[in-house]
Amino acid sequence: MNNLLPVPVLLPMLGAALALMLGRRPRAQRLVSILVLAGVVGVAGTLALQANAFGPQTLWVGAWPQGFGIVLVADRLSALMLTVAALVTLAVLLYSAGQEDDEVKRETPVSIFHPTFLLMCAGVSDAFLAGDLFNLFVGFEILLFASYVLLTMGGTGSRIRAGSIYVVVNLVSSSLFLIALANVYAAVGTVNLAQIAQRVPDLPEGTQALLQFMLLIVFAIKAAVFPLSAWLPDSYPTAPAPVTAVFAGLLTKVGVYAILRTQTLIFPHRPLTELLLVVAAATMIVGILGAIAQSEIKRMLSFTLVSHIGYMIMGIGLATQAGLAGAIFYTAHHITIQATLFLVVGLIQRVGGSNSLDRLSGLLITSPLLAVLFIVPGMNLAGIPPLSGFIGKLGLLSAGVQVGTPLAWFLVATSVVTSLLTLYCIAKVWNRAFWGTPVAYSKAVADEDEEEPLGRSEGPMPPIMVAATCGLIGLSLLLTVFAGPLYQYATEAAGSLLDGAYVQAVLGEATP
């Protein structure tokens, strides 16, 4: 038993309620939100240390006996995801605090933003800690409900259109999730993940395949896996910079986490290696080709987000400890890097007045600091040695070579090409936005339907926004400096996914 387990869920909920009551006091709201997320970071780090030292930490909520009720579980995987997510959300919140009054009213109204942001964080934490499918569904719904509000904040036409697409897609996926839940319960008589893992092998092969495909489809939609990813590039670029950053960094990774958890725990004997590897390759190729075709940085990064989900699905599809370790490490890396790049784009929008490459030039002269803030995470995303992106990709490539099947070799080649094309995209942004002669951006040449409201093109970048961005860059560099211990942690987490430790920790001596 570990009574810290509910804290990452309950603390943001309580903070959201308090922030809502402080709607007329924006400074107090910011202080409450920052303190709450700082507390979540501390608790998540403690759970990660305990899970690494003592194995999976469990708590049956309400003191229900084992095998009944709701259980929260923090093993190495969920604790790592929870810690990285808490650090990123804290940095994004600090970044949002740097917006000036006029931007706040237009972009992230404090009275709405802070309570909703904290509620989304509670949903993310609940999804990572959920020990049963229904609680996982609840976690998804909490974060999705909050994300609907955050995505349409400001009420511009482009945001309402994008929000409508996002809502429809996620309502469909949530409905499919409920149908899958009903089928799982009808088949095995429980929604507890550990009990499902014990009972699924006794089901007919056809029933197992049906349940597995239903869950995969649901989580693939949420993770933006091709061909179920078309909604993402049209939804994320329209949101305010802090919202886009946390969406890109976190929300799709919750879907990846759900795939990783269910594939290794419930269906380890049915890894679907060939299907997942084909899907991973298609996701990489389609995503990166879409990124190459874009002239707006936000849309380009949204397509690279889809593309790099393919690396994580590749590791899951390899179905080996080395492949899973690579997927875990790369997921932690990508949460940090993708969020960082979207924060940088927010600063580019502020300095240059746009995120369109057709309207940007000479930012290296205008703001050398902004150039540094872009190039470091950009090179990391592309996988340039010795950064953490290179280390994660190298681990996945090594795992693919070890499997050695023709399809695994095809994935190795595809991942290398995707990495090179990602570097091309970063170089494209650098050449067009940062090289050249600075140009004055005029509101008169702006399209009325530009996805992002115009930023300011004069004055320095707010120190708190720069500091938050630097903090995430520093976190990504720490992933590089401590890549050895972290990769060992990921390897042990992968081993724990395959050795049955989760089931034993949750159920103990309880019978299925």
Decide: helix, strand or coil at residue 57. Answer: strand
User: What's the confidence (pLDDT) of residue 100?
Assistant: 52
Confidence of residue 436 (pLDDT cuts 50, 70, 90): confident
pLDDT at residue 274 is higher than 90:
no
Please tell me the predicted confidence (pLDDT) of residue 151. 82
pLDDT of residue 286: 94
User: 3-state class of 36 per DSSP?
Assistant: helix
Copy the structure tokens of residue 405. 């099947």
Task: Name the region of 72 (left: φ>0; alpha: ψ -120 to 50; beta: rest).
Answer: beta
pLDDT band at 168 (very low <50, low <70, confident <90, very high): confident
* Structure confidence at residue 101 (pLDDT): 46
Render pLDDT for 115-144 as a digit per residue (tens, 0 to 9). Answer: 999 999 999 999 999 989 999 999 999 988
Q: How confident is the model at residue 211 (pLDDT cuts 50, 70, 90)?
A: very high
pLDDT for residue 303 is more than 80: yes
What is the per-residue pLDDT for 251? 87
Q: What is the pLDDT of residue 419?
A: 94
Q: Note the pLDDT of residue 55.
A: 87
pLDDT (mean) for 159-165? 76
- pLDDT value at residue 67: 64
φ/ψ bin of 272: left (φ > 0), alpha (ψ from -120 to 50), beta (otherwise): left
DSSP E strands, 140-212: none
The pLDDT tens digits for 306-321 are 999 999 999 999 989 9
**Residue 241: helix, strand or coil by DSSP?**
helix
pTM listed for this prediction:
0.91
Contact 439, 361 (CB under 8 A): yes
Segment 461-482, tens digit of pLDDT? 888 899 999 999 999 999 999 9
Q: Which of 172-186, 353-367, 433-447 has the lowest mean pLDDT?
A: 433-447
Q: How far apart are CA 330 and CA 326, in angstroms?
A: 6
Give the pLDDT band of residue 449 (cuts 50, 70, 90).
Answer: very low
Tell whether the model's pLDDT for residue 339 goes beyond 90: yes
Question: How does DSSP assign 401-452, residue by residue?
Answer: HHH--HHHHHHHHHHHHHHHHHHHHHHHHIIIIISS------GGGS-TT-SS
**What per-residue confidence (pLDDT) applies to 448?**
40
Distance CA 162, CA 232 (A): 9
CA–CA gap between residue 114 and residue 469 (Å, rounded) = 19
375: number of CA atoms within 13 Å, CB side?
14
Output the pLDDT for position 455: 41
**In the predicted structure, residue 337 carries a pLDDT above the cut 90:** yes
Mean of all residue pLDDT scores within the chain: 86
Q: 3-class SS at 270?
A: coil
Position 225 confidence tier, pLDDT thresholds 50, 70, 90: very high
* CA atoms of 142 and 254, how far apart (whole Å): 13
Q: Which residues contact 33 (CB under 8 A, 6 or more apart)?
A: 15, 19, 93, 114, 117, 118
DSSP 83-137: HHHHHHHHHHHHHHTTS-HHHHHHT--HHHHHHHHHHHHHHHHHHHHB-BHHHHH
Could you report the per-residue pLDDT of 484-498, keeping only the tens digit for each?
999 999 999 999 888
Give the H/E segment covering residue 173.
helix 157-188
8 Å CB contact between 125 and 5: no
Chain CA centroid to CA 351, Å: 27
Reported as a pLDDT band with limits 50, 70 and 90, residue 107 is: low
Distance CA 433, CA 256 (A): 32
Q: Stretch 67-83: mean pLDDT, rounded? A: 89
Using the predicted structure, report yes or no on whether residue 149 has a pLDDT greater than 70: yes
Q: Which residues of 33-48 are buried (b: 16+ CB within 10 A; e: fewer)?
A: bbebbebbbebbebbb
For position 166, what pLDDT does the model report? Answer: 83
| Residue 118: per-residue pLDDT | 93
